[in-house]
Structure 1
Amino acid sequence: MALQPSLRPLLIAGTFDAPHTLDIFLDYVCPFSAKLSLAIDNVLVPLLGPGGRYHGKVKVIFRPQVQPWHSSSTLVHEAGLAVPRVAPESFWPFSLALFKRQGEYFDIPTSTLTPLQIREKLVALAGEVIAVPSNAAGRFADLLLLKSSPNGGTAVTDDLKYTIKFSRQNGIHVSPTVLWDGLVANEISSSWGEQEWSDFFLAKVEI
C-alpha cells in the first residue's frame, strides 16, 4: 500500500521495499488498538527489524482510524499526524505513549474539556516524548493551532483527510483492522502474542 510523502514515518516496522505489507488500522482511544500496539512493539518490531527473522520480508504501516463516536478521536489523531512533520523518528514512541495514556482521552474524562484544552494536554504529552530537535515540541503545538479562517482546520487537516479517505475507500469500519497484502485478515486478533504471529508469518512468508 502506498503512503503520501508526509506520512512515510507511519511505516513503524520493516523496510519500504519489503514485499509483504501489514496495514494496521488503529484508533488511539480504542482499548483493543492499545492492546495490539503492545504486540506490535514487543513482537512485530523485533521480528521485522534488523536481525529479525522476517527483516526485509514484511513491513507494518500504522493506519490512523478515526472513530467519530469518540469525541476526542479526531483531536488525538491530529496530534499523531503532527509528530511526523516535526520529529519523524518520534511518531511511534508518541503513539505508544498516547496508547498507554489513552484513558485520559476517553469520553468521560474529556467531557468537561474544550478542544483547546485537549490539544494542550496533547502538546504536553508530546513535550515528554519528543526530545530532539529542541524546538520540535513548539513546532508541534503550532501545527495544532486552528487557522484564521472560521472553518479551516489545522495544518495537519489535509493529512487527517487523507487517512480518513483511505479508510473509507477500503471499507474499514472498526479498529483494529489488519490488511495482509491489501486484503482484510480477519483471523488476526489484538490478543495475538509471539506464537500466533510467528505461526502466521510461517504460513505466509517465504524465507
Structure 2
Amino acid sequence: MALQPSLRPLIIAGRHDAPHTIDVFLDYVCPFSAKISLAINSVLLPLFSPGGKYDGKVKVIFRNQVQPWHASSTLVHEAGLAVARVAPDGFWKFSLALFKHQGDYFDIPSSSLTPVQIREKLAGLVGDTLGADKKAAFLDLLTLKGSPNGGVAVTDDLKYTIKFSRQNGIHVSPTVLFDGLIVNEISSSWGEKEWTEFLANKVTV
C-alpha cells in the first residue's frame, strides 16, 4: 500500500522495501486497538526484525484511524503524527505508551479538558516516554498558528491519513489489510498461534 514519504516512521516493523505489507488501522482511544498493538509488538515485530523468520519479507504500517465519535481521537492522532516528525525512531514506542494510557483520553476523563490542555498532557507523555528534550518541538507542532481555522503543523498529515482510510472504506478499528485487501478474520484477540498460522499461509516470497 502507498505511504507518503513524510510518514515513513509509520512503518513500525520490517524493511521499507519488504514485498508483503500488513496495514493496521488503529485508533489510540479504542480498547481493541490497544489489545492488538500488544500482539503486534510481541509477536510480529520479532518475526519481521533482523534475524526474524520473515525479515525482509513483510512490513507493518500503522494507519491512523481517527474515530470522531470520540472527541479526543483527533487530538491523540495529531500527537502521534507530531512524534513521527520530532522523534521518528520513537513513534512506535510512543504509540505503545499512548495505548497504555489511553484511558486518560477516553470521553469522560477528557470531557472537562480543553484541546490545549489535552495537548499539554500528551506532551507530558512524550517527555516521560522519549525524553524531556522532545517536548518543546512536539508542542510547537501542535500549536495553532496562522489563520483562525488553519490547524496545526501536522494537519496535512492528519488529512492524508483520514482521506486514505475513507477511500479504502475503513470504518472500524482495528482493521487489518494484507497486501491491500481487508482480512476480516484477523481479531484483536489473535496471539502467537493465530498470527503464525496466518503468515505461514500468506507469505509467498
Q: TM-score scaled by structure 2?
A: 0.98
1:182 correspondence with 2:180? yes
For residue 24 of structure 2, give the secondary structure of its aligned residue in structure 1. strand
Map 1:48-127 to 2 at 5 A.
48-127=48-127
Identity of aligned residues (%): 75
1:4 aligns with 4
1:199 maps to which residue? 197
Once residues 111 and 138 of structure 1 are traced to their aligned partners in structure 2, the CA distance between those partners, rounded to angstroms, is 25
Question: In structure 2, what residue type is equivalent to 1:86?
Answer: V
User: What amino acid is the match of 1:117?
Assistant: Q
Give distance in 2, aligned partners of 1:113 and 1:135: 25
How many residues of Structure 1 are paired with residues of Structure 2 in the alignment? 205
Q: CA deviation at 1:117?
A: 0.6
1:122, distance to aligned residue in structure 2 (A): 0.4
1:147 to 145, 148, 153: 145
How far residue 138 of structure 1 moved from its aligned partner, in angstroms, is 1.0
Extract unaligned runs of 5+ from structure 2. none
Cα deviation for residue 30 of structure 1 reads 0.1
- Deviation, structure 1 residue 17: 1.2
Q: Deviations 1:1-56 (Å, cap 9, x if unpaired)?
A: 12111100000001111111000000000000000000000000001111111111
Offset at 1:136?
2.5
Aligned partners of 2:135 and 2:10: how far apart in 1? 19
Unmatched runs of 5 consecutive residues or more in structure 1: none
Moved over 4 A (4+): none
Residue 136 of structure 1 pairs with residue 147 of structure 2: no
- Check conservation: 2:143, 2:152, Cα contact below 8 A: yes
1:205: how far off?
A: 1.2
Give the RMSD, CA atoms, in angstroms.
1.0
- Paired with 2:84 and 2:31, the residues of 1 have a C-alpha distance of 23
